Structure 1
Amino acid sequence: MAQRFNHEALLRARLELELTQEELAASVGVDVRTYRRYESGEVNEGGFSIRQPARRKLIERLSAELGIAAADLVIDAAPEPPAPAPKLFPPEHVHTLQRAPHFVGREEILDELWAWASAPEKGQTPGVVALVGVGGAGKTAIAERLVTRIGDAPRHGGLFVWSFYDDERTEAFLAHAVRYFAGAEAQAGERLEKLLLALGSGPPHLLVLDGLETVQASGGASRAHGELEDPLVRRLLVALARGLGAARALVTSRFLLGDLAPWADAGARTVQLGPLPPTDAARLLRSWGADADGEALARVVRASGGHALSLAVAGSYAGAFLGGDLRPLDPLDLAEAARDDPLARRLARVLSAYAAALPDAERDLLARLSVLSAGADEDALLALASASPRVAGALAGASAESLRRALARLERLGLVFRAGGEPPRWSSHPFVRDHFRGLLPVSPSAVQAAMSPPSEGTLIFAPRQKPRDRGRLDAIEDVLRTLLAAGQPTEAYRVYSQTLGGFSHLGLVLGEMSRGARILRMFGETTNPGSPAASLAWSYRLALLYERGLYAGALGDLAFARRSYEEHNTLIEGASELSHLVTGMRTLAYTERLAGTLSAARAHASRSLVIAESAGLGAHMARGIALYASIAHDLGDIEAARAGFSRLAAMGDARVARRGLWEAEHLFALGQRAEAVQMTEANVAACERLGWAGHAAQGHVLLGLAVVDEDPAEASRRLAAARAWVAVSGEVEMAARVHELTARLALARGALFEAAREALAGEQLAEACGLGLFRARLLALGLEIALARGDDGMTVRAKDAPDRVLVEDAWGRADVLHWAGLCLSSVGVAEIGKRYLEEALVLRERIGHPGCDATREEVCRR
């Protein structure tokens, strides 16, 4: 029977004897790297045999040293179970992509996409391919052809199709994707992480994401053109571009994906769709029924600019109403273009002619169908037909049969398509929707209300119980959108703040961070006079800006959070109510600290504190002093940090919540663990009594780190408590802290591969979200684990590690230099290793780091 080395027994025996790995390795006469392979179980990879004399001798020495029988160290391996059949994924078409009835050209692009999508391994191919072009260029049609070519048979890798045109809710997308790829439900805060884990598991999964521009910025004061507005979508695409198993994504958008620029031509590739060549353009016109001589055809092709949708609509119009004759189209002047989107806007004249030529019922049906981006089913349209004549228009009193005939005709003309679902829904191209929506004689909200009337009680501003059910949340969000479309931003804001409970309920209780951020985006830029936000009362605009920052910070979009707080603070400058400015300056300082821009953080904290002191705002003073002291600690100004925390004690401050946690972290870093633990235990108990789950979670992580080496079981309990909060909230700062504790716990158990994986995941999260402070800590931890593993790839990583840490971050830089120096010294890069250790010693001595003696010993040893 096959055998294996019992590495669990080895680990248990070493811990019981209170030996280090180095001590036991030396006592049995092997180097520590070899010993670690035995304790971690790596020697069992590929089977274990003691036929080698050297291995037999080592087993004998371990047996004698630990008092364990050799037969207990080398045991029979359980028979290998038969390999399970590989899981097959039936394709998941959550949304139906619009099919081009007549698809012409683009063969080369389709062939390249087919080779990319069907490759069993990703290899050197990009993780993200973006089809980018103006509206109507054919992006969705190409994606649909690729999906159709892949087929509906179950695949080794999943195929997941989502249209942001139909549903722009990121939380709904993530929930559905996790169910499909991971086969499980997940709470709001853990969906992205579970999805990334499932996608990175190996199979060549493919996501097709249509209409990404709906979650991209169109450019403004707050965001650059094309910037992804939802941080969760950004993190998903960045992870795919960086490399996530064999997973890949095809996305379509009108905008370039600037967030993926660092991976251009490697992990991310952009395919820009230009105009159709003249021969393909002529073929497309004829396929829609145009029948004309070469010159008439050429004139329309030239006037259209080769724009696929313009050609399709022109050919369909000529075939349906002009007997195929293209000449009457000449006076429509297809070449006239608007400034912002020249190719797409050439459609306006043709669509106007179409609207005039369609029967009244079909024109009014298309105009009203265009109100709902996700389309409408037959029941919704019948409800509309029974509405008032002013709202229903020529559809008033229409029967189901007449509606079906009208829809069938519009489908033949290429103006609508079946959007899938059960019962099937009908929708149209976004550009067609935009044009026909403008023909409505009533407000879109009136049509929406007729098609999907709000449930009873939706407009109650302050319900006794805040909503929790996803369906009710969706309904209230629709009401919000309707109110804004109707020009009632104040009522919309009251629904958000009172019915939904604002950030305190929607974000902190439900973890619906993406939903909250999306709702506040509906109000538009506060600096744009034409946006709904501009007409809100001053106090509402203040709250809107502040809560935008809270959502962005929780989701890991620190850059946008900072811009929101800055705009908040600018708006309040000069006002008599100073508490809002004090809070805004302090929250901005907190965000700058997370980003690692410590000098800016200190300046904002200082100003906040000065204003609080001058206005006699006692509670704000305590919070400001604690934050300032914590930033001083990060900068390595230990005396200033001590002075600040001492001042809090003299004030009689209770030191609960964050200000107590900051002081405990300061004490823990200086080696005063007992005092830090005592303070934090009391703090966690107080926070749990007050319902401050986020603060309690941070305390649990700190307590777990304090006992991780001596009491792994207690550390695991603390970790579970902190994870529960992250699962609800998705708060990225806490997620980074949880990664750190998880890695430390795995390191203490000797599970080095797991430890390395967790440290790297935390580092990548910190990098993606701009958490400079945590990136340094997790980088240092990763180097420590790499040294323990004897990782062959650590040399390059250790060499450039100090360059990846902010100079201001004294503690993070000191630890990175120490572990990078040890890593390089262990692989023979002695000169650089010693230099790093010497730099670490100078820095550690300056800040009073408890690891000074260890660094000094290593320097002397070199």
Structure 2
Amino acid sequence: MAQRFHHEALLRARLELELTQEELAASVGVDVRTYRRYESGEVNEGGFSVRQPARRKLLERLSAELGIAAADLVIEADPTPAPALHAPAPRLFSPEHVHTLQRAPHFVGREDILEELWAWASAPEKGKGPGVVALVGVGGAGKTAIAERLVTRIGDTPRRGGLFVWSFYDDERTEAFLAHAVRYFAGVEPQAGERLEALLLALGSGPPHLVVLDGLETVQAAGGASRAHGELEDPLLRRLLVALARGLGAARALVTSRFLLGDLAPWGDAGARTVKLGPLSPIDAERLLRSWGADGDGEALARVVHASGGHALSLAVAGSYAGAFLGGDLRPLDPLDLAEAARDDPLARRLARVLSAYAAALPDAERDLLARLSVLSAGADEDALLVLASASPRVAGALAGASAEGVRRALARLERLGLVFRAGGEPPRWSSHPFVRDHFRSLLPVSPSAVQAAMTAPPEGTLIFAPRQKPRDRGRLDAVEEVIRALLDAGQPTEAYRVYSQTLGGFSHLGLVLGEMSRGARILRLFGETTDPAAPAASLALGFRLALLYERGLYAGALGDLAFARRSYEAHNTLVEGTPEVTHLVTGLRTLAYTERLAGALSAARAHVSQSLVMAESAGLGTHIARGIALSASIAHDLGDIDAARAGFSRLAAMGDARVARRGLWEAEHWLALGQREEAVQMTEANVAACERLGWAGHAAQGQVLLGLAVVEEDPAEAERRLHAARAWVVVSGEVEMAARVHELTARIALSRGAFFEAAREALAGEQLAEACGLGLFRTRLFALGLEIAHARGDEAAMGRAKDVQRQVLGEDAWGCADVLHWAGLCHSSVGEAELGKRYLEAALVLRERIGHPGREATREEVCRR
């Protein structure tokens, strides 16, 4: 009789032992994704067999760990459904306010928006409204105030869906946000490369989670040579918001920003809605002035309202100033000329006039306290301000020597005036609105870094340029990052770059070893545009500027921002042209070609690598010649120019090249695609061994995927072993190219075992990753794999995606196109569109015969049947 895995017993035992899925998976030596297949019963799809050694070993570990006999884990399949296992009560989430949103003491004029948001955030079902709502408006328009009112209305009572509040004004580190969010929603502490995937999995699990992200403009581009206005600078954050806009369970996100979110434009109002905050109406503006203590006749009020342009923060500050210093009389405000406009930001200029009056009217100690607090984006508590008060008079200003009581009184008065607010925590921290910070920071007679240094001494050794051991823990990395910021603030970009490259070890340590891709990319953004004479990067030596641009591309490529990576390499190559640095240009052109290949722009990739190869040969750069030949041959293979690919790889062999790392991997991929599996496996096994000896973990991981693909149909267990080895690198680095490859191998393992649901899920996840990151090469191939799985499981709805072939995925990749056409033909035929199916199959046959595809006979047989 057929057998099945008793997943109900596994679930019951885990719950009785009060273990999480992650804890039990770790104890039996598998990743949590594999464990979930067993607990959910997905392993029973297509039948369950214990013939594979890896599966028998896992069953033994589960039996020993849980105290369940192996015979009770594998039982006879009963044709009658088993009684449902009572699921545990759903987890309740207490709201997590990582940062406190600034509360508007007097909230007027946005009640209708708040009601709409309340209805949207309260909807429990999936598909009820957009996945992302963006409150967009100028600084001081009331975006944060609306978000704060919404989360306050939701309250602190534990709820089925989580509520997570993060302010990028307080902490713009995407990696810190992801780490905190995944701990909250998933209850796990994954490594850097797994954070986003773990968070997406948790948010998509069903409950109506709400993520509130305030101050998104701090991680958006202001517009320049390298990025469009409003473009999200961190690809991980972009992928999260795109996934939410697409639909991620019942999860939603409310974001506030001064900039439109251009990255979400394709989803329009369906998945992403933008609420633009305009000026307050005259009636609401007058209400706000009076709420702050302003008084006067209708003419005086109307004059100030008109002059302010209905800007909420300007009105609040004007009303507060009049109430505190003018007895409520608005008439003396007239000489401030609130209507004077600046060319680029009239509202900021109007507000600056009022804040200038405030600065003049405040007592010296309160003004200097606010100026120093304004350089601390995350705020400060009373103890920290007392440390500042004990600093040198030049740094502390009029705050020098202040007592705890004096600091407390000053903070209380500034809070009443609406200039500071409690930012949460215990003891409470104090902070201010970004507009207020910007103005009062300008009043500092010393650099911001001097204030920061007085409050927090850098850990010992952070300024040693080449320490014996590179930093690894998060706290030390944060400290070194602050040192780099301080050096740039102090006008020392060369020293700042040396700290990045030597103390942090640059991309080779920060990115490849630690997987801190977001941190590395953010640090290099601090140096600004290399084309801007006012940016710190412009004063760096040529070699440092070249390294900065090149490593920007490496971080962006690893994170899945291929468009920015290409722009970085292009800027690098433009900068080095006409200089004696031939090696830099050869490398830059080849890396650009590699990136264009990943994007699916194969003709452009071929042109770039050809130029690189000509230059390398002219200069006699042997290693670069070999690398160029290998990449050129790989691109020729992708284009379907098999003769050129063979000639290139033969030339490498004649040169005596060792064909290690990518050079060997590309050649092995070529042979495997042509059906010459033994040659591919032999070459790759030697390559992986060499890469592991040299510490090239990324190359070794790619080789493991290739070996897994080579054996997946005959030995899924061996393929899974290879998969685990490859996934270890993705966990560390988060490198998207490898993540896409891992999705492909995972899907093929599931397909070989008949686990169609899991196979379809992995293929679609890989395709969506490739689409979000611009990995055109992988998107085509994963789309084809998705059609293959849909046809194998007879899923008519999924086979309907074949209609998208011409419009979405066909490009220059001959191999991907050949597979897409073949499977699209079979899918169309299966759903009753025989004529269209035959046309696709005939086109597939022509292409498969031209490139020598090992599946060409199967295609020919299908054509003959029709």
| TM-score range for the pair, normalised by the shorter chain length | over 0.9
Of residues 785, 791, 810, the one that matches 1:787 is: 791
Alignment-mate amino acid for residue 514 of structure 1: S
Counterpart of 1:334 in structure 2 is: 338
Within 5 Å, give how 1:317-716 maps onto structure 2: 317-716=321-720
Shift of 1:625: 0.1
Name the amino acid aligned to 1:700.
Answer: Q
Q: Supply the distance in 1 between the matched residues of 2:629 and 2:447 (Cα, whole angstroms).
A: 53
SS of the residue 2:254 aligns to: strand
Deviation at 1:577, TM superposition (A): 2.3
Identify which of 857, 862, 865 aligns with 1:858. Answer: 862
Instruction: Give the deviation of 1:379 after TM superposition.
Output: 1.8
Who is 2:69 aligned against? none
Match in the other structure for 1:814: 818
Q: State, as a whole percentage, how many aligned pairs show the same letter.
A: 86
Residue 121 (1) aligns with residue 125 (2): yes
Check whether the contact 1:215–1:230 (CA below 8 A) recurs between aligned residues: yes
Is 2:291 aligned against 1:287? yes
Q: Which of residues 724, 728, 732 is equivalent to 2:732? A: 728
Residues in 2 aligned to 1:623 and 1:103: alpha-carbon distance in whole angstroms: 63
* SS of corresponding position for 2:148: helix
1:131 paired with 2:135, answer yes
Number of positions where the alignment pairs a residue of Structure 1 with one of Structure 2: 806
Q: CA deviation at 1:576?
A: 1.3
Question: Are the counterparts in 2 of residues 658 and 695 from structure 1 also a CA contact under 8 Å?
Answer: yes
Structure 2 letter corresponding to 1:645: F
Residue 126 of structure 1 contacts residue 266 of structure 1 at CA under 8 Å; is this kept in 2? yes
1:708-787 pair list within 5 angstroms: 708-787=712-791
Give the alignment of 1:90-129 within 5 angstroms: 90-129=94-133
Q: 1:8 Cα shift?
A: 6.7
Superposed displacement of residue 581, structure 1: 0.6
Counterpart residue number, 1:248: 252
Q: Could you report, residue by residue, the CA deviation over 1:550-569 in whole angstroms, capped at 9, with x for unpaired residues?
A: 00000000000000000000
**Partners in 2 of 1:322 and 1:291 — Cα distance?**
10
Q: How high is the TM-score relative to the length of structure 2? A: 0.92
Contact 1:5–1:75, Cα closer than 8 Å, also in 2: no
Q: Is the 8 A contact 1:7 1:41 kept in 2?
A: no
Deviations 1:381-404 (A, max 9, x none): 111101100110000011111101
Q: Deviations over 1:612-632 (max 9, x none)?
A: 000000000000000000000
Question: Which residue does 1:314 correspond to in 2?
Answer: 318
Distance 2:816 2:825 in 1: 14
1:165 partnered with 2:169: yes
Distance in 2, matches of 1:40 and 1:844, equals 35
| Gapped regions of structure 1 (runs ≥ 5) | 10-36, 45-70
User: Quick one: which amino acid aligns to residue 576 of structure 2?
Assistant: I
Aligned equivalent of 1:64 = none
Deviation (angstroms), 1:651: 0.1
Report if aligned partners of 1:133, 1:139 keep a CA contact under 8 Å in 2: yes
Deviation at 1:609, TM superposition (A): 0.3
Distance in 1 of aligned mates of 2:218 and 2:424: 20
Give the distance between the partners of 2:629 and 2:139, measured in 1 at CA: 53
2:149 is aligned with 1:145 = yes
**Partner in structure 2 of residue 74 of structure 1:** 78
Aligned to 1:183: 187
Flag the 1:480–1:609 CA change in 2: closer, same or farther, 3 A. same
Q: In the aligned structure 2, how far is the partner of 1:765 from the partner of 1:123?
A: 21
Residue 84 (structure 1) shift: 1.2
Residue identity matched to 1:197 = L
- Which position in structure 1 is the counterpart of 2:848? 844
Shift in CA distance, 251/524, structure 1 to aligned 2, threshold 3 Å: same
Change (3 A) 1:43 1:699: closer
* 1:40 shift after superposition: 6.0
Q: CA deviation at 1:167?
A: 0.1
Q: Decide whether the 8 Å contact of 2:213 with 2:253 is kept in 1.
A: yes
Q: Does the 8 Å contact 2:388/2:396 carry over to 1?
A: yes
Letter of the 2:491 counterpart: G
Amino acid at match of 2:326: L
Structure 2: tracts of 5 or more residues without a match: 7-40, 49-74
**Partners of 2:2 and 2:351 in 1: CA distance:** 72
Which residue of structure 1 lines up, in the alignment, with residue 243 of structure 2?
239
- Deviations 1:221-242 (CA, angstroms, capped at 9, x unpaired): 0000000000000000000001
Deviations 1:745-785 (A, max 9, x none): 11111111000000000000000000000001100100010
Q: CA deviation at 1:73?
A: 4.9
In structure 2, C-alpha distance between the alignment counterparts of 1:39 and 1:87, rounded to whole Å? 26
Partner amino acid for 2:515?
G
Worse-matched range after superposition: 370-379 or 535-544:
370-379
- Matched residues in 2 for 1:442 and 1:324: separation? 35
Question: Which letter maps to 2:653?
Answer: A
Matches within 5 A, 1:265-280: 265-280=269-284
CA shift, 1:39, in A, is 10
Partner residue in 2 for 1:28: none
* CA RMSD, Structure 1 to Structure 2 (Å): 1.6
Deviations for 1:133-159, whole angstroms, at most 9, x for unmatched residues?
000000000000000000000111000
Q: Distance in 2 between matches of 1:284 and 1:236?
A: 37
Contact 1:134 1:344 in 2 (8 A): no
CA distance in 1, matches of 2:770, 2:671: 24
Q: In structure 2, the residue corresponding to 1:123 is in which secondary structure?
A: coil
Paired residues of 2:46 and 2:755 also in contact (CA < 8 A): no
Q: 1:858 to 1:76 in 2, by over 3 A?
A: closer
Structure 2: distance between partners of 1:826 and 1:796? 10
Q: 2:796 is paired with a residue of what secondary structure? A: coil
Cα gap change, 1:354 to 1:500, in 2 (>3 Å): same
Matches of 1:5 and 1:826 in 2, distance apart? 30
Displacement of 1:320: 0.3
State the AA in 2 paired with 1:331: P
Give the whole-Å Cα distance in 2 for the aligned partners of 1:782 and 1:490: 50
Structure 1 residue 130 displacement after superposition: 0.2
- Deviation digits for residues 519-556 of structure 1 (CA, Å, limit 9, x no counterpart): 00000000000000000000000000000000000000
The residue type paired with residue 350 of structure 2 is: R
Shift of 1:76: 6.7
Structure 1 CA distance, aligned partners of 2:118 and 2:80?
A: 48
> Once the 2 structures are TM-superposed, how far is the Cα of residue 342 of structure 1 from its aligned partner?
1.9
For residues 39 and 332 of structure 1, the distance between their equivalents in structure 2, rounded to whole angstroms, comes to 73
What's the counterpart of residue 66 of structure 1? none
Q: In structure 1, how many angstroms separate the alpha carbons of the residues matched to 2:834 and 2:699? A: 44
Q: Could you list the per-position Cα deviations for residues 799-825 of structure 1 after superposition, in whole angstroms to 9, with x for gaps in the alignment?
A: 222432243110000000000111111
Is the partner of 1:162 in helix, strand or coil? strand
Listed one character per residue, the Cα deviations across residues 450-487 of structure 1 (whole Å, up to 9, x for unaligned) are 11121121111110000001000000000100100110
Q: Aligned partner of 1:427: which letter? A: S
Structure 2 Cα separation of the partners of residues 421 and 615 of structure 1 = 61
Q: Deviations over 1:336-357 (max 9, x none)?
A: 1222222233101100000000
Structure-1 separation of matches of 2:278 and 2:562 = 35
State the 1:75 CA deviation. Answer: 5.7
Aligned 8 A contact 1:134 1:341 in 2: no
The one-character-per-residue Cα deviations of 1:484-519 (angstroms, maximum 9, x if unpaired) are 011000000000000000000000000000000000
- Once residues 77 and 392 of structure 2 are traced to their aligned partners in structure 1, the CA distance between those partners, rounded to angstroms, is 84
